[in-house]
Amino acid sequence: MTDPPDRRLLLVHAHPDDESINNGATMAKYAAEGALVTLVTCTLGEEGEVIPPGLAHLAPDREDTLGPYRIGELAAAMRELGVTDHRFLGGPGRYRDSGMMGVEQNARPDCFWRAPLDEAAELLMEVIREVRPQVLVTYDPNGGYGHPDHIQAHRVAMRAAELAAADDRPELGRPHTVARIYWNCVQRSAIEAGFARLREAGRDIPFPGIAGADDVPGVVDDSEVAVIIDGGDRHFAAKTAAMRAHASQIAVDGPFFALSNDLGQPLFGAEHYRLADASAPPGGPADDLFAGMVIP
């Protein structure tokens, strides 16, 4: 048995594709540097809107086989990012995608939105106690944009970190305190610059429309950004390839992409993080999620 890597990063996401869109460059960078990168995805994304017409038969109102299909897309994305530790919360299919807020799927008893918080958090707690990450990345309390599964992933991640540090349930592993928790965000100045690039490209992009900064989840004032991970060309390329692997959900064109709403968005090689405890970063954003930590 070999020792685990010194630096360990855990990411908690709602659906396959969220990890590549939000954190693809970050995951590729830390994996390439030899850190342990663990991804926990909470649902199979069964309710996602399918973009390619050739895959329309997978949809929940037809064959309802999008979930298993997206397991394959996620596996391909992980290969592009060089990430080998990937799990579904409670195993594949334990929790079903809840659909957008307000749709009838929110009421399905097997959907993630309806999962008892402590039951789901305990499943994640076991992963935390096993992997023992110093850093945890998830969404903000609004899940970035109000999707029930993103909100629930936030709640489960925060509760699991609390449970993992407490002394109870020793049969589920030795207590572990996550040193730092980050929430995904997008720096306002970066998104504005990205949209300026997109408007310049104008007619050269193949999307019917262009999104606005309001369509992007988790935009915050620059002063709130604690860490910026710039993946550089190499990790940007890995992120782009990982997003392409989620072809049922994402259309990628050069440095731009669109989701099922067909609105073009800039694709960023730099990814932004704010601290869950809202502490202001002294001296501006760091360039490392582990900045200032003493790693044995």
Q: How far is the CB of 43 from Zn ion (least distance, A)?
A: 8
- Beta pairing class for 263-266 and 209-210: parallel
Cβ distance to Zn ion smaller for residue 143 or 269: 143
Cβ distance to Zn ion smaller for residue 112 or 273: 112
Residues that bind Zn ion (CB under 5 A): 14-15, 18
Q: How far is the CB of 293 from Zn ion (least distance, A)?
A: 29
Closest residue to Zn ion: CB criterion: 15
- Beta pairing class for 256-258 and 251-253: antiparallel
Cβ distance to Zn ion smaller for residue 154 or 272: 154
Q: How far is the CB of 128 from Zn ion (least distance, A)?
A: 21
Cβ distance to Zn ion smaller for residue 90 or 217: 217
The annotation status of 150 as a binding-site residue, yes or no, is yes
Q: How far is the CB of 14 from Zn ion (least distance, A)?
A: 4
**Can you say which residues are annotated as belonging to the binding site?**
15, 18, 150
**Can you say which residues are annotated as belonging to the binding site for Zn(2+)?**
15, 18, 150
